[in-house]
């Protein structure tokens, strides 16, 4: 086995993951509340086992994918049931039809046939007083910057955001994020959360920077493949030189 070829193939795998993540960030930029993924490359710190496989594993770059939960830009929409989060921290808490909990920064909501505030997937928005339910005969809903929900002049609920000490454990699910059943993380209510009614938080990815990254990874893959081809040709010439009779 040629160590250079093995290392090059492993590097290509890492670059492929970077390319996949970059393409996902570009395609997901249109989705409200989307959080971009970030790729970092790392290598193991060494190994006591000097076997070839373990040495190669120790020096081979590994692509580690994490989620960047930095807030995105909040843009007005004019839709009164759209709620943009203007706090840097926190997620809406949603309840699925099956009773599971999903967390999201996407505030694109609407009232369903039961006059309950839900998201695009039909998950119920969980406020401080439970679900937000309006009376169809008592006027429009308004939401203050501090999250107080009014129908007409009557206070009917209070929006709440939740955050976590360890966001790394969050996994992407339909409609937002959740925790693995075997690795729950306690939620903490955000103090003094702020909102903007009639607005939505957009993706925190920068499409121009992602396009630049896509060009960079394409060039890196091309250079790596060129180097691998050169190594392969050198190996072929060496074999032919050492064994001219084939």
Model confidence pLDDT, tens digit, residues 207-239: 888 888 777 777 776 776 676 666 655 666 666
Sequence-ordered strand ranges (E) for the chain: 37-42, 62-67, 74-76, 83-85, 92-95, 101-104, 110-111, 117-118, 124-127, 130-131, 141-143, 148-151, 154-158, 162-163, 171-173, 176-178, 188-189, 195-197, 199-201
Residue 181 pLDDT level (bands cut at 50, 70, 90): confident
pLDDT on residue 227: 64
Residue 3 has pLDDT above 70, yes or no: no
Mean pLDDT on 155-163: 97
Instruction: State pLDDT tens for residues 23-73.
Output: 888 877 888 888 998 887 766 555 555 454 554 454 556 778 889 999 999
pTM for this entry: 0.75
* pLDDT attached to residue 48: 52
Query: What's the whole-number mean pLDDT along residues 188-202?
Result: 97
CA distance 206 to 22: 11
| Predicted local distance difference test score (pLDDT) of residue 56 | 47
């Amino acid at each position: 086995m040629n160590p250079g070829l093995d290392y090059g193939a492993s590097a290509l795998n890492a670059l492929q993951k970077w390319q996949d993540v970059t393409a996902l960030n570009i395609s997901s930029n249109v989705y409200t509340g989307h959080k971009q993924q970030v790729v970092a490359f790392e290598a193991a710190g060494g190994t006591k086992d000097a076997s070839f496989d373990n040495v190669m594993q120790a020096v081979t770059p590994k692509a580690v994918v994490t989620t960047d939960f930095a807030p995105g830009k909040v843009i007005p929409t004019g839709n009164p049931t759209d709620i943009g989060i203007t706090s840097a921290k926190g997620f809406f808490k949603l309840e699925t039809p099956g009773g599971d909990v999903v967390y999201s920064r996407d505030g694109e909501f609407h009232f369903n046939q039961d006059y309950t505030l839900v998201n695009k997937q039909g998950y119920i928005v969980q406020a401080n007083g439970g679900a937000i339910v309006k009376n169809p005969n008592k006027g429009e809903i308004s939401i203050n910057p501090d999250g107080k929900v009014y129908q007409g002049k009557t206070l009917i609920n209070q929006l709440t955001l939740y955050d976590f000490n360890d966001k790394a454990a969050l996994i992407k699910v339909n409609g937002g994020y959740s925790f693995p059943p075997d690795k729950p993380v306690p939620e903490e209510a955000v103090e003094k959360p702020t909102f903007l009614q009639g607005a939505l938080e957009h993706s925190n990815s920068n499409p121009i920077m992602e396009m630049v990254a896509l060009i960079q990874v394409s060039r890196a893959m091309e250079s790596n493949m060129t180097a691998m081809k050169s190594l392969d040709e050198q190996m072929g010439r060496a074999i032919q030189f050492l064994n001219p009779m084939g």
